[in-house]
Chain A
Amino acid sequence: MTVVADLLDRIGPVAAPSKGAAEARAWLDRHGLPDRRDEAWRYTPVPAVVEALAETPPSDAGPVPSGAVPAAIAIDRDLVDRRAGRPDGPRLVVVDGRLAAPLSDLDALPAAVRVGPAGGAPGAPPADGFEALGRVVGGGAVAVDVGPGGDRRLHVVHVATGRSGGAHPALSLHVSAGAAFELIETFVGVGAAAVVNAATRVTAEDGATVGLVRVVAEDDESVHVGRTAVALGRGATLRGTSVLVGGRIARHALDVDAAAPGSHVDVAGLAVPRHHDRHDTVVTVDHAGDDVRSGQIFRVIAADRGRGSFSGHVIVRPGTVGTDADQSSRALLLGPDAQADSRPWLEIFADDVRCTHGATVGRLDDDALFYLRSRGIPAAEARRLLVAAFAAEVVDRIGDTGTREWVEARVRARTVGAG
């Protein structure tokens, strides 16, 4: 039996058969799951992800009393507040991939924002085998449609209970021409080891401005593989911020399709692996249109034996003009066994290109530590200040105060005593 068939045999489809699921299954049979030869998966231990998916405990191992009610009812608003912070603005709660209507502010959505089921219709080809797997297994995708207007924000909290077969949340976001919208997605657990395989697809029409904040704050023993695929229209702007502050394995792939001219891509990421965590972020910006500007800022803070990896993939298609692409990657190692990988991955097939990249790996600055301590600031507090400052370049991009402070607290908790 193939790995895929064996895995599907164990975790099985949970959704009714659909055309989308059938197409995904066919795609999966042709392409399979990622393997070692797949450059984009170099830093994520795929066999460990597959093993975790095949071995996730039955759902009654979670906090839901066995034989009880669906998890959505056992998880209340207070628990979500405690786990995911309380941002300003309306919130949707998705439990193991399914929208939990009683926990969600469906009556308080921002103007011209509609939320509904995505249905099982075929969509864009899967980004990778895990996205295909998620479509086969199903579990209830959520679609968010944003009409004209600006200054609106929606927070989607994904809660993973550790149910058998993993959670496969899928979310699609459509932002209409000229509109401005921010989506905050946070991924949290409830204290049970979970496997989360999340796919977000975003379409920004011409001139739209889309903010994406994505925070993976899974529990220590959980595994998260996620991807966000963004298609930008003419003159559209993406401001994306990706944060990995949880999970023993956490991966986020952000794929930006900049096929239309004049779009602007501004993405940043932070990963804070500790213990034996493996955190991996792969950003791909495909400059297929003219006059596309992109910037990638990436920071890793690794403690203990944590390992954080960043791949910044820039593709510039033949015949395009006016490309401007910058990339900066810095890693802070807080212990002798912490590791970081930084990989600029440039595929440039055009001439009219300005492209820069830079990467550094370092430790806490002894001179800065001594300076702070010489002012009476205790060593641990001085380290905390310097670690927070390193994270701030990414964290300060999060405009929502509640979310930002929650992320700051996670970074602090994960790095306390290290360095």
Chain B
Amino acid sequence: MLSIHDLTATAGETRILDGVDLDVPAGEVHVVMGPNGAGKSTLANVIAGRDGYEVTGTATLDGVDLLGLTPEERAVRGLFLAFQYPVEIPGVGNAAFLRTALNAHRAARGEPEVAAVDFLGLAREHMARLDIDPAFLSRAVNEGFSGGEKKRNEILQMSLLEPRLAVLDETDSGLDLDALRIVAAGIERLRTPERAMVVITHYPRLLDLVRPDRVHVLAAGRIVTSGGPELVATIEAEGFAPLVGSAVG
């Protein structure tokens, strides 16, 4: 599914990712953890195609080279990034936004557009499944949303767009337990044998709520340790320092 090899990212003079290797097979949930400044959000941004980085190495999704694609091309090929801080967009209605996004995906698959009326029915189904207030649809995108509401909106988008691979950037959201719970519930509900997920976080607490298949520790721009869920207990007990050792010096 997702295969990253020797990925580097440089912003200005600073090398933030320094040779990341990561493989995530279909059906698995992987967690990337690491201390502040390890490059966690950059990893998410580079996979999703945010500009501002000079990137080398490879990142493929189902064999397709992601790095040569625009963000929208990556999205319609099945990549979804759940934002750490979802952007407020006043004046753009959430319903119109979600429908436009869904239709962009459908167009890429050669499927006809969903009419407004059918879309509303579909959106309501997803919202009911995820316990999301239908009033979401009539608001502007994330405008005035609480932290928890923004996360709900991300999960709703993920649910509607049905990505092959979801990358959830939760680097700082451990600060808001409510938001973490929402994300964790979303991950569990949207977990399928065909879908892979990468959860990026700083806080082991998220992993009380999500059961990962693999855990990776990112430090100074590289994956320094990988293991099973038991790695989380080690991190909780001892912090990152013993694991990252030489990489952080």
Assuming the A-B contacts A370-B50, A385-B97, are A375 and B104 also in contact, with contact meaning beta carbons closer than 8 angstroms in the complex? yes
A376 to B91, Cβ gap below 8 A? no
Contact partner of B100 (CB less than 8 A), chosen from A367, A370, A381, is: A381
Residues of B within 8 A of A377 (CB): 72, 100-101, 104
Stretch at the interface among A76-84, A93-101, A389-397: A389-397
B92 to A376, Cβ gap below 8 A? no
User: In the bound complex, how far is the Cα of B70 from the Cα of A385, in angstroms?
Assistant: 18
Which residues of chain B (161-184) have a CB below 8 Å from chain A? 161
Residues of B within 8 A of A74 (CB): none
User: In the bound complex, how far is the Cα of B104 from the Cα of A112, in angstroms?
Assistant: 50
Contact partner of A376 (CB less than 8 A), chosen from B75, B83, B96, is: B75
Q: Whole-angstrom distance from the CB of B80 to the nearest CB of chain A? A: 8
A374 to B49, Cβ gap below 8 A? yes
Q: Whole-angstrom distance from the CB of B170 to the nearest CB of chain A? A: 16
A392 to B91, Cβ gap below 8 A? yes
B48 to A374, Cβ gap below 8 A? yes
Interface size for A (C-beta < 8 A) is: 22
Residues of A within 8 A of B74 (CB): 374
B70 to A376, Cβ gap below 8 A? no
Assuming the A-B contacts A367-B87, A368-B87, A371-B83, are A378 and B72 also in contact, with contact meaning beta carbons closer than 8 angstroms in the complex? yes
B104 to A386, Cβ gap below 8 A? no
Q: Mark B100-138, 1 if CB is under 8 A from A, else 0.
A: 110011001000000000000000000000000000000
Assuming the A-B contacts A371-B87, A389-B89, A392-B91, are A376 and B104 also in contact, with contact meaning beta carbons closer than 8 angstroms in the complex? yes
Which residues of chain B (33-92) have a CB below 8 Å from chain A? 48-51, 70-72, 74-76, 80-81, 83, 86-87, 89-92
B101 to A376, Cβ gap below 8 A? yes
Asked whether any CB of chain A lies closer than 8 Å to the CB of B201, the reply is no
Asked whether any CB of chain A lies closer than 8 Å to the CB of B8, the reply is no
Asked whether any CB of chain B lies closer than 8 Å to the CB of A113, the reply is no
Assuming the A-B contacts A370-B50, A371-B86, A374-B81, are A379 and B70 also in contact, with contact meaning beta carbons closer than 8 angstroms in the complex? yes
User: In the bound complex, how far is the Cα of B100 from the Cα of A378, in angstroms?
Assistant: 10
Most buried by A among B51, B71, B76, B104: B71
Residues of A within 8 A of B101 (CB): 372, 375-377
Interface size for B (C-beta < 8 A) is: 29
Residues of B within 8 A of A372 (CB): 89, 97, 101
Which residues of chain A (109-156) have a CB below 8 Å from chain B? none
Q: Whole-angstrom distance from the CB of A405 to the nearest CB of chain B? A: 14
Residues of B within 8 A of A370 (CB): 50-51, 71, 87
User: In the bound complex, how far is the Cα of B72 from the Cα of A381, in angstroms?
Assistant: 11
A374 to B91, Cβ gap below 8 A? no
Residues of B within 8 A of A382 (CB): 72
Residues of B within 8 A of A375 (CB): 72, 75, 97, 101, 104, 157, 161
Residues of A within 8 A of B89 (CB): 365, 368, 371-372, 386, 389
Residues of B within 8 A of A371 (CB): 83, 86-87, 89
User: In the bound complex, how far is the Cα of B157 from the Cα of A386, in angstroms?
Assistant: 19
User: In the bound complex, how far is the Cα of B72 from the Cα of A379, in angstroms?
Assistant: 7
- Name the residue of chain B whose CB is nearest to the CB of A385: B92
B100 to A385, Cβ gap below 8 A? yes
User: In the bound complex, how far is the Cα of B129 from the Cα of A123, in angstroms?
Assistant: 67
Residues of B within 8 A of A388 (CB): 91-92
Contact partner of A389 (CB less than 8 A), chosen from B87, B90, B157, is: B90
User: In the bound complex, how far is the Cα of B83 from the Cα of A388, in angstroms?
Assistant: 24
A376 to B161, Cβ gap below 8 A? yes
Residues of A within 8 A of B81 (CB): 374
Q: Whole-angstrom distance from the CB of B133 to the nearest CB of chain A? A: 20
Contacts A368-B89, A375-B72, A378-B104 supplied; 9 other A-B pairs, CB < 8 Å? A365-B87, A370-B71, A371-B86, A372-B101, A373-B75, A374-B74, A377-B72, A377-B101, A388-B91
Return 18 A-B CB contacts under 8 Å, by A number.
A370-B51, A370-B71, A371-B83, A371-B86, A372-B97, A372-B101, A374-B49, A374-B50, A374-B74, A374-B80, A375-B104, A376-B72, A376-B101, A376-B161, A377-B100, A381-B100, A385-B92, A392-B91
CB within 8 Å of A: which residues of B?
A: 48-51, 70-72, 74-76, 80-81, 83, 86-87, 89-92, 96-97, 100-101, 104-105, 108, 140, 157, 161
